[in-house]
Amino acid sequence: MRTTTRIFLASLLVLCHFQWCYPQFPQRGYGVNLYIERENQPDGGIFLPAPPDTCDVEYFDDFVQWQWGKTVRYTERGERASIESQSSTTVMARIFSEALGFRISRSETPAIYNLMSRSYHTAEQTSKNPKEKYMRIRPVIRFNEIPTGQADNLESLRTSGSYPSGHTTRGMATALVLAEMAPEYQDTILRRGYEYGESRVIVAAHYQSDVTAGYMCASAIVAAMHSVPDFRVDMEAARAEYYEKSGRKPNSANIMPDGRRILSQPVDTASYRYYGDVAQYMEAKGKRATVRGEQAKADADCSLDAILKAFSEPLGVRIDSKSAPKLTELVKETRNALQANAADLAASSQFRKRPYVQLGEAPFAREYDSNNSSYPSVESEISWGVGLVLTEIAPSRANDILTLGFRMGESGIITGQHWATDIIAARIMAAAVLAHMNSDEAFKKLLDEARKEYDTLKR
């Protein structure tokens, strides 16, 4: 017995010495070295609004989209949605191998797989704070349905929050990272990330607003990951492996993301979702006579000077050409790219009348404007995109920065300049544009210079 005890104690000492010498990876990342720990990540429970309750007008769109999901649940698209209830780095590798045209695996593409795995597990933590904060009941539970997702367990769905969608957060974050790595395939990659979120509506595991919030959380965490040197090193290694594997040459494609290929068609008056847009517009009108209405009117100005002034406060430093020339140049370049992308999508998509024009009302924030399309919201693409790029610069201020960027987009509903679904489309495209810009060497150089300038200014 004494011999056995001595052996046990000796083994325990060896084990303790091993663990002391070799720290373990955080358990919350399932053994994966996260780029950013959960407590340091942007918090969707802060920068996003609460999910709509069943008595809110926003819930109308959720209900309509749940009904749409039922209509395709037992089609070929529904079968794919069921399969996509599975979620892991291996599943992401399979999905995006199809988009890239070659097999991604731990053995065949170790650098790409490493980037995907660390990004996936980092993003996995991002949805947890708002999930736990709101504990929203999922539609499959609310409507007493049987789960059709292959990997969806009824008890798990019952005991975890619906808002935001964790699947969507992980899937879109992976898509944004890979679109940056492989800009030649950006539209195909981002479309698959978009559809991966859409699948969660089809199987009734999530409402549309959960999925939309997942897209936002994904773009926020990917922006924050750009502040981590490890992420940038892993991205360069994965990009080199991608060009070697694909046979392409770097910078062989310099075309901005095309929203027509990434997003669904804009909502028109024949769509049931149109009534959700109208309901949100009518509710938002009531805020015009309030302080929030005056704020919304000011937010309609997305000139460079207005953007610089607005984001100086949450960033914590004054942004102007004299005080912060590199930060000013970064915001200017980002704003111009976002504005051009939104204008191109508006010109190439079905024209959509602005809400106040469609409903025959007087303008609130600007002079009467019937010539410009409501889709997508230029102001929302600019405000959310600038918020994302400044999150890359100052991740510790992400919640304040993103709260402002989100609010400025919502202001478009209050002023009647844009429908709610136009604003959502614009924010998704803002993240897509940033993924493209982050693949450009000149932009990365400017980003590094702006980051150093910010670090100096905040001291």
C-beta of residue 346 within 8 angstroms of C-beta of residue 432: no
Active-site pick, 73, 118, 121, 167: 167
State yes or no: is 200 an active-site residue: yes
Residue 158 Cα to chain centre, angstroms:
25
Question: Going by C-beta distance under 8 Å and a sequence separation of 6 or more, which residues neighbour residue 341?
Answer: 256, 257, 259, 381, 429, 433
State yes or no: is 206 an active-site residue: yes
C-beta of residue 221 within 8 angstroms of C-beta of residue 86: no
- d(CA 22, CA 28) in angstroms, rounded, equals 18
List, as one string, the DSSP characters of 376-421: S-HHHHHHHHHHHHHHHH-GGGHHHHHHHHHHHHHHHHHHTSS-HH
State yes or no: is 436 an active-site residue: no
State yes or no: is 226 an active-site residue: no
- d(CA 414, CA 442) in angstroms, rounded, equals 38
What angle (nearest 5°) sits at the alpha carbon of residue 206, between those of residues 200 and 208? 90
Instruction: Report the chain's terminal Cα–Cα distance, integer Å.
Output: 63
Q: Which residue, chain included where needed, has tokens 């600038």?
A: 386
What angle (nearest 5°) sits at the alpha carbon of residue 21, between those of residues 16 and 26? 85
- d(CA 91, CA 76) in angstroms, rounded, equals 19
Active-site pick, 200, 273, 397, 418: 200
- d(CA 342, CA 336) in angstroms, rounded, equals 10
Active-site pick, 43, 62, 187, 210: 210
Q: Cα dist. 194→172, 342, 429 in Å?
A: 7, 18, 11
- Residue 244, SS3? helix
Active-site pick, 138, 206, 352, 354: 206
Residues annotated as catalytic (active site), given as ranges: 167, 200, 206, 210
